[in-house]
Amino acid sequence: MEEIELRKHRCCFTGHRPEKLRLSERKLATLLETEIKRAIAGGFTTYITGMAKGVDLIAAEIVLRLREQDDRLKLICALPHPGFGQHWGGGWTERFQRVLAQADLSRTICPGFSRGSYQVRNEWMVRHSALVIAVFNGEPGGTKNTLDFAQRSNVPCVVIDG
């Protein structure tokens, strides 16, 4: 299958890290699962996560859990640079490692760290997707930049108020 056809069935996630969210993790997971199930019903079977703390990892964990009952589902991890996710506290590094170990595919987008590597990763995810599921609190930053890029790229977005 060609990239243009594969893209029609891919959805990516964007959203804030835990400290910027107004939702509890439990409420966030419920809202994300609802949107992921809606996307699955719409024909989306491959999900791309940027693997950051918060929305990215929670969404990835949901996809992996749903994959247990639906073997059509696939998870792609898009890492911004080598070494990403290895030094977090609060159990996030362990969650990161569990998700990465269960992913169908992982890609490191940039060869090394730079402040711009996160946006490069986010734009890569949007360019390889036909839907974005976002958790957005209205503040400027990476999530807003990703939503703006998706809009400029004519990729539809589902936005959860976060």
**11-21 residue pLDDT tens:** 999 999 999 99
Q: Are 27 and 160 in contact (CB under 8 A)?
A: no
pTM score, two decimals? 0.96
Question: What pLDDT is recorded for position 4?
Answer: 73
CA distance readout (Å), 127 to 3, 31, 33, 36, 58:
10, 24, 23, 19, 22
